[in-house]
Amino acid sequence: MATENPLNLLDLDRGGMEALFASIGAKPFHGRNVFKWIHKHGVTDFGQMTDLSKKLRARLADMVEIRLPQIILEKPSSDGTTKWVMELEDGQRVETVYIPDGRRSTVCVSSQVGCALDCSFCSTARQGFNRNLSVGEIIGQVWHASRIKGVPTNVVLMGMGEPLANFEPVVSAMEIMQDDLAYMLSKYRVTISTSGIVPNLYRLKERSDVSLAVSLHAPDNELRDQLVPINRKYPLEELIPACRDFIRGDKRRKITWEYVMLDGINDSDAHAKALIRLLEGTPSKMNLIPFNPFPGSDYRASPPERIAAFRQRLLRAGIMTIVRKTRGDDIDAACGQLVGRVRDRSRRTVSVPLSSVQEACR
């Protein structure tokens, strides 16, 4: 008889898979084999796992499952970007974005249903927050992308949610991304983005070897308090040292800073000068992101000439600075535009849908 609410094998990293097989009297290497079948070969049918005995395959089919998020909409962009809306077991929806760039390809992965941090310029934040994603729901996004587009060269946890607010599942999912029997991504090819949950930054250094991107968006506490409210709890004088500590000891590492350019808000020469002072002594790469408008927002994107001037000032100060090319904005897949469908538990209200993609899913 099949087990009620069977274990989802997508929730297990390689060590967890080996331990599971040992616990049922099988050899740990069978766990490694199943792990490889799922992630490297994309096989979810135990019957096709031909290096397992028929008896073991039958036992697995009775005990456990391989449950993936379901793609309910695929939306291609004119620039080659693809956005998938994925529905989870409880009916919640998250969004995942595939971005090709020559020989490189990046998958932008969600870590929560919605987001509780309420950054004022972000469409996802307007949806509120419902819950964290499981390991299987996070890695399942990479699994789907790899089957449809091929294994990506890069994965960024920059989709819906604050990854460091869902610490354990995110760390486990990143371990699977880097595993040689799975997606074989190097530590420089997996990037976790955070708005600045400082205690978990220190935990992350002890647990995971990946690249770090920080949603900065302002050079001082007064402005960042307005744009990124988590700053009120973990201000810049705590965040910047934690970031420096994260890359200490690796000369190849830089902190990637994300800075959304908001017209008349954070884009003046004075802001650039303050940003240079703030980052002095920190190995840095600055991503200037043109603001992606969404219904109900009061912000406007900085004019291109203002962004260019801002960039030149940072470059002259020795800070590697690029202007991120907006990708997928015609399908609401650009930075800050992912919304999925969220039953908001943080505000106890039903959020108004902001995404045309979400409307198409109903």
Q: Which of 44, 65, 86 lies at the terminal end of a domain, its last residue? A: 65
Task: Note whether 57 and 113 are same-domain residues.
Answer: no
Residue at 2 is within a domain: no
Residue at 116 is within a domain: yes
Task: Note whether 340 and 216 are same-domain residues.
Answer: yes
The residue whose two tokens read 């994309």 is: 42
323 phi, psi to nearest 5 deg: -100, 115
SS3 call for 156: strand
Task: Note whether 52 and 89 are same-domain residues.
Answer: no
pLDDT at residue 128, as a whole number: 80
Task: Note whether 138 and 16 are same-domain residues.
Answer: no
Task: Note whether 154 and 236 are same-domain residues.
Answer: yes
Residue at 111 is within a domain: yes
pLDDT at residue 79, as a whole number: 87
- Containing H/E element for 186? none
Task: Note whether 182 and 294 are same-domain residues.
Answer: yes
Q: 113 — alpha (psi -120 to 50), left (phi > 0) or beta?
A: beta
Whole-angstrom Cα distance, residue 231 to residue 198?
10
Question: Annotated catalytic sites, by residue?
Answer: 95, 335
Task: Note whether 227 and 257 are same-domain residues.
Answer: yes
Whole-angstrom Cα distance, residue 241 to residue 235?
11
Task: Note whether 192 and 216 are same-domain residues.
Answer: yes
Whole-angstrom Cα distance, residue 347 to residue 23?
42
| Count: domains in the chain | 2
The domain of 48 spans 7-65
pLDDT at residue 120, as a whole number: 79
Task: Note whether 146 and 274 are same-domain residues.
Answer: yes
Task: Note whether 52 and 156 are same-domain residues.
Answer: no
pLDDT at residue 127, as a whole number: 75
Domain at 249, CATH number: 3.20.20.70
| pTM assigned to the model | 0.88
Task: Note whether 55 and 85 are same-domain residues.
Answer: no
pLDDT at residue 115, as a whole number: 86
Q: Which of 65, 80, 110 lies at the terminal end of a domain, its last residue? A: 65
pLDDT at residue 116, as a whole number: 82
pLDDT at residue 330, as a whole number: 54
Domain at 29, CATH number: 1.10.150.530
pLDDT at residue 342, as a whole number: 42
pLDDT at residue 2, as a whole number: 47
pLDDT at residue 362, as a whole number: 26
Residues of the chain with pLDDT under 70: 1-4, 125, 326-362
SS3 call for 124: helix
Residue at 1 is within a domain: no
Give the 3-state secondary structure percentages of the chain, helix then strand then coil, rounded to 5. Answer: 40, 20, 40
pLDDT at residue 45, as a whole number: 97
